[in-house]
Amino acid sequence: MNVRIINKSNHDLPAYETSASAGLDIRANITEVIELKPLERTLVKTGLFMEITEGYECQVRPRSGLALKKGISVLNSPGTIDADYRGEVGVILINLSNETFTIENGERIAQLVFAKVEQAAWQQVEVLTETDRGTGGFGSTGVK
């Protein structure tokens, strides 16, 4: 899949770090350092603008290293960039740690994963097909 991209940042285009990587790391494109305090959230710009093929989405996901080592996550994880969005890619980061986290220009802040999507067509009915599970949810399939 080809993705048209405009890069207004001072950084290289996102790239797969290994031949089997699913995600591409993206970097902060900021003019001033951001101090993200515990439980604080902020929108971090990337300088990237994309044209995604219709029928696909781009998911914005946390980086596992930042999550484990620093407690930094993507708040609306995974965030979705729709195929018809043409604005700058921004990442909503949240600090779930007890320490202030410093975001610097060029810092790898999240990863992008492209996925095929389909739009649902509603079929309104009066009754749904029964299953063994039925209406059980929120842990109902676990060991009792």
pLDDT in tens, 90-141: 999 999 999 999 999 999 999 999 999 999 999 999 999 999 888 888 877 7
From the list 7, 100, 110, the residue with the least C-alpha distance to 63 is 110
Output the CA angle 31-106-89, nearest 5 degrees.
80
- pLDDT the model gives residue 35: 98
Which pTM value belongs to this model? 0.88
- pLDDT the model gives residue 143: 59
State whether CATH 3.90.420.10 applies to domain 4-116: no
Residue 1 to residue 90: CA distance in whole angstroms:
22
Whether pLDDT at 144 is above 80: no
Q: For 140, what's the count of Cα atoms within 13 Å in the CB-facing half-sphere?
A: 7
* Cα 32 to Cα 24, 46, 105, 125, distances in angstroms: 24, 13, 7, 54
Give 3-state DSSP helix, strand, coil % of the chain, rounded to 5. Answer: 5, 40, 60
Q: What ranges do the domains of the chain cover?
A: 4-116
Q: Which residues pair with 101 in a beta bridge?
A: 36
